[in-house]
Amino acid sequence: MGNVVVAAERLPKLEDYLCFAVYSANLPLHRLLKPLLDEVGLTYPQYLVLIALYLGRSPEMNS
């Protein structure tokens, strides 16, 4: 059991992971956008697709 504790102490802290930093940064943005997106009946992924299409970054549009 002592080996598990030593191994766990060597792991990086949660805040050292990039994915945690991205997730943490997304929370306030999502809280801000959610009421606005709810008004127009969109989810965040749908909003991202609309933005990508508007900017012309769809693979179908480039072919």
Q: Give the chain's residues under pLDDT 50.
A: none
Supply the pLDDT for residue 60.
60
Supply the pLDDT for residue 16.
77
User: Which contacts of 40-49 are long-range, i.e. CB under 8 A and separated by 24 or more positions?
Assistant: none
Supply the pLDDT for residue 46.
93
Supply the pLDDT for residue 40.
96
Largest CA distance in the chain: 58
Supply the pLDDT for residue 35.
96
Supply the pLDDT for residue 57.
65
